[in-house]
Amino acid sequence: MKFKLSLSILFIVAVLFTRISKAQDAQFSQFYPAALYLNPALSATYSGFSVSMNHRVQWKNIGTPYSTSQVSVINPFFRPGKTRSPYGAIGLTINNDKTGDGIMKTLGASVNGSYDLPLASLHHVLFGAQIGFIQKSVNYDQLQWGSQYSPEGIDPNAHLDVNLRNHTSSRPDLTGGIMYYFNPLRNYGRRGANFSSFAGMSVYHFNRPKLGLYEASNERLPILYKFNAGLETKLKDRVYILPNTIVQLQERFRQINLGLSLHYYLLDEKFYYKPASKPLVPNEIRFGMWYRIEDSFIFTVSFGNNYYSMGLSYDLNSSSLTRNYRGTGAYELSLIVTPFKPKQRIFNIPKV
């Protein structure tokens, strides 16, 4: 009887793992600090060697929280004699997410390459690609089995009726993306351009890797499509507004974020791009708010200069989780560090 119960639990875990493998990927609310997680072409927008990090914790009120993290490194290349104009970049990104008790984990890593194709002074098209792997695992040691139950309760040291080991599944993963930028130099008022804008599309898992628990499983990860677009315009001296949107589609899953961020520069623009005499003192403050349709409101605040950018966001649930889990949301921290002497920023990439 205990043996059958153990096998039943194993079957349930296998089915649950399969469903999670087929479900949507883990997400960040601060998309652009996790640029390679949004669109591989975005690495070509960086004008200096950069390291970025995101860490997200959600559902803290329902036990051990669910966490998601990413770290990316981007190194741009510059055209000979034009140190302000990168023509592409290479990068590396690692991401990890796990359930609260660590029963199920997902680890991903990819190398990135991108290229900037200038069509004219106001028009740029960027291409990017990533190749890497996805690894999913189940830790059976975190589960409770029928043979561990006794009239006195659960004995975690009891001998199991079955011989189990932690199972890991690894598969290659391919990604591609394209971005279009208008007026990336932000030369407002020239040639009739009073704004700068961008739009992009990326395709993740287009090789549809198999991610079942066992080789016999035919379950495959659905293709994930991501679309992002936005524009920046000047409201008045030192104040800019950047409305933008992100749409994600993965099988039956659909996520739409609509919102904007407000940027206030503490210095006159002619001084902003010069290396700061005090690298830790911020010269830009940003506030943002987005609505993730049928899910949550996202509030962000960030600050920084040419050497770093730090952001904090909170997701306020508007879905049924608000009723079921007392409105518990998600916290996310982001950090971008450009340790060497920064170049002048070319593209108006958001920092939140």
Please give the sequence-ordered ranges of beta strands (E in DSSP) within the chain, or none if there are none: 50-58, 66-79, 82-98, 104-120, 123-138, 149-150, 153-154, 167-182, 195-204, 224-236, 239-250, 253-265, 284-292, 296-304, 308-317, 330-337
Among 208, 195, 186, 182, smallest CA distance to 126 is for 182
pLDDT tier, 20 (very low <50, low <70, confident <90, very high otherwise): very low
pLDDT digit string, tens, across residues 180-219 = 999 887 877 766 678 999 999 999 999 999 876 665 567 8
* Residue 6 pLDDT class (50, 70, 90 cuts): very low
Can you tell me the distance from the alpha carbon of 164 to that of 242, in angstroms, rounded to the nearest whole number?
Answer: 53
Amino acid at 219: E
**pLDDT beyond 60 at 352:** yes
**CA 327 from centroid of its chain's CA atoms:** 23
Closest CA to 130 of 214, 224, 62: 224
Residue ranges covered by each domain of the chain: 2-157+164-258
Chain centre to alpha carbon of residue 197 = 21
CA distances (Å), origin 262, targets 37, 232, 239, 292, 302? 23, 10, 7, 18, 10
Tell me the pTM: 0.84
Q: Looking at the predicted structure, is the pLDDT value of residue 10 above 50? A: no
Q: What average pLDDT is seen over the chain?
A: 81
Segment 283-324, tens digit of pLDDT: 899 999 999 998 899 999 999 988 899 999 999 988 665 554
- Pseudo-torsion of CA 315, 53, 222, 216, nearest 10°? -120
Q: What is the pLDDT of residue 99?
A: 76
pLDDT-based confidence at residue 8 (cuts at 50, 70, 90): very low
Q: Who has greater pLDDT, 272 or 20?
A: 272
Residue 14 pLDDT: 42
Q: What is the mean pLDDT of residues 70-76?
A: 97
pLDDT at 280 over 70: yes
Q: Are strands 66-79 and 104-120 parallel, antiparallel or unpaired?
A: unpaired
Yes or no: domain 2-157+164-258 corresponds to CATH 2.60.40: no
- Report the distance separating Cα 33 and Cα 93, nearest Å: 12
- What's the confidence (pLDDT) of residue 264? 93
H helix runs in the chain, sequence order: 2-22, 35-38, 269-272, 321-324
